Amino acid sequence: MSNYAKVENALTGSPGSSIKLRGWIHRKFHVGKKIFIWLRDSTGYIQCVLEEEKVGKEAFDSFERARRESSVEVEGVLKEDSRAPGGKELEVVSGRVVGYSEDFPIKGGEGVEFLLDNRHLWLRSTQLNAVMKIKHTIIKLLRDYYINDGWYETTPPILTSSAVEGGATLFKVDYFGEPVFLSQSAQFYLEVLIFSLEKVFSITPSFRAERSRTRRHLSEYYHFEVEAAWMDMEELMKVTERSIEYVVQGVLEERQRELEILKRNVESLRKVKAPFPRITYTEAIEILQRNGVSISWGEDYGADEEAILTRSFELPFFVTFFPRSIKPFYMKLSESDERVVKGFDLLAPEGYGEIIGGSQREDNYDILLSRIQEQGYDPKDYYWYLDLRRFGSVPHSGYGLGIERITMWVAGLEHIRDAIPFPRFRDRTKP
- Give CA–CA dist 34/133, Å, rounded: 34
Q: Residue 307 CB: number of other CB atoms within 10 A?
A: 15
pLDDT at 225: 98
Q: Where are the domains of the chain?
A: 7-99, 117-419
Cβ contact 222:401 at 8 Å: no
pLDDT at 427 (0 to 100) = 63
- Is the pLDDT score of 210 beyond 80? no
- 317 — phi, psi (to 5°)? -145, 155
Q: Which residues pair with 21 in a beta bridge?
A: 74
- For the cut 70, the answer to whether the pLDDT of residue 176 exceeds it is yes
**Percent of the chain surpassing pLDDT 70:** 96
Q: What is the pLDDT of residue 82?
A: 86
| Cα–Cα dist 314/272, whole Å | 8
Domain 7-99 classification at class level: mainly beta
The 10s digit of each residue's pLDDT in 83-124 is: 888 889 999 999 999 999 999 999 999 999 999 999 999 999
For 250, other C-beta atoms within 10 Å of its C-beta total 17
Contact 298, 337 (CB under 8 A): no
pLDDT at 1 over 60: no
> What's the rounded mean pLDDT across residues 284-303?
96
| 160-172 pLDDT, tens digit each | 887 666 556 789 9
Please state, in angstroms and rounded to a whole number, the distance separating the CA atoms of residues 97 and 35: 14
The distance from CA 272 to its chain's CA centroid, rounded to whole angstroms, is 18
**Pick from 56, 46, 2, 54: which is nearest to 24 by CA?**
46
Instruction: Please give the Cα distance from 399 to 65 (Å, whole number).
Output: 55
HSE of 47 in the Cβ direction (CA atoms, 13 Å)? 17
pLDDT tens-digit map of 237-261:
999 999 999 999 999 999 999 999 9
Instruction: Using the predicted structure, report yes or no on whether residue 431 has a pLDDT greater than 80.
Output: no
Give me the pLDDT at residue 168, please. Answer: 63
| pTM (global) more than 0.85 | yes
Residues 222-248 as b/e (b if ≥16 CB within 10 A, e otherwise) read bbbbbbbbebebeebbebbbbbbbbbb
3-state secondary structure the chain: CCCCCCHHHHCCCCCCCEEEEEEEEEEEEEECCEEEEEEEECCEEEEEEEEHHHHCHHHHHHHHHCCCCCEEEEEEEEEECCCCHHHEEEEEEEEEEEECCCCCCCCCCCCHHHHHHCHHHHCCCHHHHHHHHHHHHHHHHHHHHHHHCCCEECCCCCEECCCCCCHHHCCEEEECCEEEEECCCCHHHHHHHHHHHCEEEEEEEEECCCCCCCCCCCCEEEEEEEEEECCCHHHHHHHHHHHHHHHHHHHHHHCHHHHHHCCCCCHHHHCCCCCCCEEEHHHHHHHHHHCCCCCCCCCCCCHHHHHHHHCCCCCCEEEECCEHHHCCCCECECCCCCCEECEEEEEECCCCEEEEEEEEECCCHHHHHHHHHHCCCCHHHHHHHHHHHHCCCCCEEEEEEEHHHHHHHHHCCCCHHHHCCCCCECCECCC
pLDDT tens sequence across 141-155: 999 999 999 999 999
Question: What's the chain's average pLDDT?
Answer: 94
Better pLDDT: 210 or 102? 102
350: left (phi over 0), alpha (psi -120 to 50) or beta: left
How many CB atoms are located within 10 Å of the residue 273 CB? 13
- Supply the pLDDT for residue 66: 97
Structural contact between residues 63 and 97, judged by C-beta atoms closer than 8 angstroms: yes
When pLDDT is averaged across residues 348-371 and rounded to a whole number, the result is 97
Q: Looking at domain 117-419, does it have CATH number 3.40.50.1110?
A: no
